[in-house]
Amino acid sequence: MLAGAVQADPAEGVWRTQPDRKALISHIKIAPCAAKLCGHVVAIFDKAGTPVTTKNLGLKLFWDMVPHGSGNYGGGTVYLPLLDVTAAASMKLSGNSLTVTACKGPVCDGQVWTRVK
Protein backbone atom coordinates (compact mmCIF):
# COMPACT_ATOMS: atom_id res chain seq x y z
CA MET A 1 0.00 0.00 0.00
CA LEU A 2 1.27 3.47 -0.80
CA ALA A 3 2.06 5.80 2.06
CA GLY A 4 -0.95 8.01 2.69
CA ALA A 5 -3.31 5.75 0.69
CA VAL A 6 -6.72 5.34 2.23
CA GLN A 7 -8.31 1.90 2.17
CA ALA A 8 -11.92 1.78 0.99
CA ASP A 9 -14.55 0.86 3.56
CA PRO A 10 -15.78 -2.73 2.99
CA ALA A 11 -19.37 -1.47 2.55
CA GLU A 12 -18.39 0.79 -0.36
CA GLY A 13 -19.60 -0.33 -3.77
CA VAL A 14 -22.83 -0.93 -5.64
CA TRP A 15 -25.59 -2.97 -4.01
CA ARG A 16 -28.81 -4.48 -5.43
CA THR A 17 -31.92 -4.03 -3.30
CA GLN A 18 -34.80 -6.44 -2.95
CA PRO A 19 -37.90 -5.54 -5.01
CA ASP A 20 -39.98 -2.75 -3.50
CA ARG A 21 -43.80 -2.65 -3.36
CA LYS A 22 -43.82 -1.58 -7.02
CA ALA A 23 -41.61 -4.58 -7.94
CA LEU A 24 -38.70 -2.25 -8.77
CA ILE A 25 -35.11 -3.18 -7.92
CA SER A 26 -32.55 -0.44 -7.35
CA HIS A 27 -28.78 -0.33 -7.42
CA ILE A 28 -27.42 1.77 -4.56
CA LYS A 29 -23.87 3.13 -4.66
CA ILE A 30 -22.35 3.42 -1.19
CA ALA A 31 -19.48 5.88 -1.05
CA PRO A 32 -17.81 8.25 1.42
CA CYS A 33 -19.43 11.60 2.12
CA ALA A 34 -17.23 13.62 4.44
CA ALA A 35 -16.03 11.10 7.06
CA LYS A 36 -19.19 8.97 6.83
CA LEU A 37 -20.98 6.81 4.24
CA CYS A 38 -23.90 7.75 2.01
CA GLY A 39 -25.94 5.79 -0.50
CA HIS A 40 -27.36 7.07 -3.79
CA VAL A 41 -29.73 5.36 -6.24
CA VAL A 42 -27.65 4.85 -9.41
CA ALA A 43 -29.95 2.52 -11.40
CA ILE A 44 -33.53 1.20 -11.25
CA PHE A 45 -34.92 -1.90 -12.97
CA ASP A 46 -38.39 -3.38 -13.46
CA LYS A 47 -39.10 -7.04 -12.65
CA ALA A 48 -37.95 -8.06 -16.15
CA GLY A 49 -34.58 -6.41 -15.52
CA THR A 50 -35.21 -3.52 -17.91
CA PRO A 51 -33.74 -0.19 -16.76
CA VAL A 52 -36.40 2.37 -15.88
CA THR A 53 -36.25 6.03 -14.94
CA THR A 54 -38.17 7.31 -11.92
CA LYS A 55 -37.90 10.41 -9.77
CA ASN A 56 -35.76 8.36 -7.36
CA LEU A 57 -32.86 7.97 -9.80
CA GLY A 58 -29.94 9.91 -8.29
CA LEU A 59 -31.68 10.21 -4.92
CA LYS A 60 -29.55 10.23 -1.76
CA LEU A 61 -31.16 7.28 0.00
CA PHE A 62 -29.15 7.35 3.22
CA TRP A 63 -26.45 9.44 4.86
CA ASP A 64 -24.26 9.81 7.97
CA MET A 65 -23.62 6.06 8.32
CA VAL A 66 -20.55 5.29 10.46
CA PRO A 67 -18.75 1.99 11.06
CA HIS A 68 -19.05 0.47 14.54
CA GLY A 69 -16.77 -2.52 13.91
CA SER A 70 -17.39 -6.17 13.05
CA GLY A 71 -19.36 -5.20 9.92
CA ASN A 72 -21.88 -3.10 11.85
CA TYR A 73 -22.82 0.45 10.82
CA GLY A 74 -25.17 2.91 12.45
CA GLY A 75 -25.92 6.51 13.29
CA GLY A 76 -27.34 7.13 9.84
CA THR A 77 -30.61 8.31 8.42
CA VAL A 78 -32.49 6.69 5.55
CA TYR A 79 -35.16 8.23 3.32
CA LEU A 80 -38.02 5.87 2.49
CA PRO A 81 -39.42 7.20 -0.82
CA LEU A 82 -42.55 5.03 -0.90
CA LEU A 83 -43.58 6.39 2.52
CA ASP A 84 -41.98 9.86 2.11
CA VAL A 85 -40.40 9.69 5.58
CA THR A 86 -36.92 9.50 7.09
CA ALA A 87 -35.93 6.93 9.69
CA ALA A 88 -32.91 5.86 11.74
CA ALA A 89 -30.71 3.50 9.72
CA SER A 90 -28.26 0.73 10.47
CA MET A 91 -26.43 -1.85 8.35
CA LYS A 92 -24.76 -5.22 8.91
CA LEU A 93 -22.19 -6.39 6.36
CA SER A 94 -21.61 -10.11 5.92
CA GLY A 95 -19.59 -11.09 2.85
CA ASN A 96 -21.51 -9.94 -0.23
CA SER A 97 -24.73 -9.33 1.74
CA LEU A 98 -25.71 -6.11 3.45
CA THR A 99 -28.68 -6.10 5.82
CA VAL A 100 -30.12 -2.58 5.86
CA THR A 101 -32.57 -1.75 8.65
CA ALA A 102 -34.75 1.34 9.07
CA CYS A 103 -36.49 2.16 12.36
CA LYS A 104 -39.17 4.78 12.91
CA GLY A 105 -39.84 4.79 16.64
CA PRO A 106 -40.27 1.19 17.81
CA VAL A 107 -41.13 -0.11 14.32
CA CYS A 108 -38.24 -1.53 12.27
CA ASP A 109 -38.07 -3.13 8.84
CA GLY A 110 -35.21 -4.16 6.64
CA GLN A 111 -33.89 -5.67 3.45
CA VAL A 112 -30.92 -7.78 2.50
CA TRP A 113 -28.97 -6.22 -0.37
CA THR A 114 -26.52 -8.12 -2.58
CA ARG A 115 -23.20 -6.71 -3.77
CA VAL A 116 -23.12 -5.93 -7.51
CA LYS A 117 -19.56 -4.52 -7.52
The pTM of the full predicted model, rounded to 2 decimals, is 0.89
Question: Structural domain boundaries of the chain?
Answer: 13-115
pLDDT tens column, 20-78: 989 999 999 999 998 899 999 999 999 999 999 999 999 999 999 999 999 999 999 99
Is residue 5 very low, low, confident or very high in pLDDT (cuts 50, 70, 90)? low
Tell me if 116 sits within 8 A of 98, measured CB to CB: no
Q: Which long-range contacts (CB under 8 A, 24 or more apart) does 77-86 make?
A: 78/102, 81/56, 82/20, 82/21, 82/22
pLDDT at 3 over 80: no
CATH of domain 13-115: 2.40.128.520
Better-predicted residue by pLDDT, 99 or 4: 99
